[in-house]
Structure 1
Amino acid sequence: MGRRLYARCRSDPALKFRPRLWPRSLSGQMALVIAAALFVAQAINFTLLLQERQRARIDGATGPVVGRIADAIERNTFGDPSRSDRGRVRSVAVSPVAPGGEHRPDIERSLRTALSEAGIKIGRVETEVRTLAPDDQRLRYTGKERRERFRRAGGELMIAVERPGRDWLVLSVPWFRGEDMIFWHLVSQTIVLYIVVLVPVLVAARQISKPLRALAGAARGFRPGEPAEPIEGRGPQDVRDVIAAFNALRLRVTAMLDEKDRMLGAIGHDLRTPLAALRVRIESVEDETDRARMADTIAEMNRTLDDILSLARLGRPSEPPTEVDLAALVEAVVDDFLDLGEEVAFEERARLRMRLRPSLMRRALRNLIENALKYAREVEVQLAEAPHQVTIAVCDRGPGIPEARLNDVFEAFTRLEHSRNKDTGGIGLGLALARAIVREAGGDIMLANRAGGGLTATITLPR
Structure 2
Amino acid sequence: MLRRLWPASLLGRLTLVMVAGLLVTQLAANAIWSAQLRAKSRVEAESAAQYVAHSASAAIRFFRSLPPSYRALVIQQMREMGGTRFFVNLNHACVDVRQIAAHPLADSVKATVGATLKGDLPHSPGFRLAFAWPDELTVSDGVRLGELPDAWVQHILLLQPDPAPILVIQTELEPGNWLYMAALMPNPYFLNANDPWAWDRLALQGLSLAAVLLLCLLVVRWITRPLAALSDAAASFGQGDHAPPLPETGSREFINTARAFSAMRERIQRYIEDRERLFISISHDLRTPITRLKLRSELLDDEALRNEFEEDLDELDMMVKGALQCVKDSDIHENPAEVKLDTLLGRLVRSARLAGHEVGYADSGLSVRAKPLALKRAIGNLLDNALYYGKRAEISTGSENGAVTIAVRDHGPGVPEEALASLFDPYVRLEHGRDQNDGGLGLGLGIARGVIEAHGGRLILENHPEGGLNATIRLPA
The two structures have a TM-score, normalised by structure 1, of: 0.68
Shift of 1:392: 5.8
Which one of the candidate residues 25, 29, 43 is aligned to 1:37? Answer: 25
Question: Is it true that 1:61 corresponds to 2:49 in the alignment?
Answer: yes
Task: Evaluate the alpha carbon distance shift between residue 241 and residue 150 of structure 1 in structure 2; reply closer, same or farther with a 3 A threshold.
Answer: same
Which structure 1 segments of 5+ residues have no match?
A: 1-12
Are the aligned partners of 1:393 and 1:456 in contact in 2 as well (CA < 8 Å)? yes
The letter for the 2-side match of 1:40 is A
Distance in 1 separating the partners of 2:358 and 2:423: 25
Are the aligned partners of 2:406 and 2:473 in contact in 1 as well (CA < 8 Å)? yes
Superposed, 1:55-454 pairs within 5 Å as 55-69=43-57, 77=65, 87=86, 104-111=106-113, 114=116, 126-132=128-134, 133-137=145-149, 147-151=159-163, 153-154=164-165, 156-159=166-169, 171-175=181-185, 176-177=188-189, 179=191, 183-223=198-238, 226-263=241-278, 275-284=290-299, 286=303, 293-294=311-312, 296-306=314-324, 309=327, 314=330, 316-318=331-333, 326-327=344-345, 329-330=347-348, 334=352, 338=355, 344-346=357-359, 357=371, 360-372=374-386, 375-376=389-390, 378-380=391-393, 382=395, 393-401=407-415, 408-409=421-422, 411-413=424-426, 429-441=443-455, 443-450=457-464, 452-454=466-468
Distance in 1 separating the partners of 2:41 and 2:160: 24
Distance in 1 separating the partners of 2:250 and 2:63: 79
Distance in 1 separating the partners of 2:338 and 2:92: 107
Distance in 1 separating the partners of 2:42 and 2:399: 72
**What is the CA deviation profile of residues 152-172 of structure 1, one whole-angstrom value per residue up to 9, with x for unaligned ones?**
x32x11135799xxx998643
Are the aligned partners of 2:94 and 2:178 in contact in 1 as well (CA < 8 Å)? yes
Task: Evaluate the alpha carbon distance shift between residue 346 and residue 296 of structure 1 in structure 2; reply closer, same or farther with a 3 A threshold.
Answer: farther
Shift of 1:192: 3.0
Distance in 2 separating the partners of 1:296 and 1:439: 32
Q: Which residue of 2 aligns with 1:10?
A: none
Shift of 1:399: 1.7
Task: Evaluate the alpha carbon distance shift between residue 162 and residue 19 of structure 1 in structure 2; reply closer, same or farther with a 3 A threshold.
Answer: farther
Are the aligned partners of 1:70 and 1:120 in contact in 2 as well (CA < 8 Å)? no
Q: Which has the higher contact order (CA 8 A, sep 6+)?
A: 2
The number of residue pairs the alignment matches comes to 432
Distance in 1 separating the partners of 2:160 and 2:405: 78
Distance in 2 separating the partners of 1:228 and 1:247: 11
Are the aligned partners of 1:368 and 1:394 in contact in 2 as well (CA < 8 Å)? yes
The letter for the 2-side match of 1:158 is V
Distance in 1 separating the partners of 2:243 and 2:392: 43
Task: Evaluate the alpha carbon distance shift between residue 134 and residue 382 of structure 1 in structure 2; reply closer, same or farther with a 3 A threshold.
Answer: same
The letter for the 2-side match of 1:174 is L
Are the aligned partners of 1:115 and 1:121 in contact in 2 as well (CA < 8 Å)? no
Q: Secondary structure at the match of 1:230?
A: coil
Question: Is it true that 1:24 corresponds to 2:33 in the alignment?
Answer: no
C-alpha root-mean-square deviation of aligned residues, in Å?
5.2
Task: Evaluate the alpha carbon distance shift between residue 400 and residue 347 of structure 1 in structure 2; reply closer, same or farther with a 3 A threshold.
Answer: closer
Are the aligned partners of 1:444 and 1:459 in contact in 2 as well (CA < 8 Å)? yes
Which structure 2 segments of 5+ residues have no match?
A: 135-144
Task: Evaluate the alpha carbon distance shift between residue 276 and residue 62 of structure 1 in structure 2; reply closer, same or farther with a 3 A threshold.
Answer: farther
The letter for the 1-side match of 2:129 is T
Are the aligned partners of 1:126 and 1:161 in contact in 2 as well (CA < 8 Å)? yes
The two structures have a TM-score, normalised by structure 2, of: 0.67
Distance in 1 separating the partners of 2:171 and 2:460: 91
The letter for the 2-side match of 1:247 is S
Distance in 1 separating the partners of 2:452 and 2:471: 12
The letter for the 1-side match of 2:169 is I
The letter for the 1-side match of 2:110 is E
Task: Evaluate the alpha carbon distance shift between residue 195 and residue 440 of structure 1 in structure 2; reply closer, same or farther with a 3 A threshold.
Answer: closer
Aligned residues: percent identity? 23
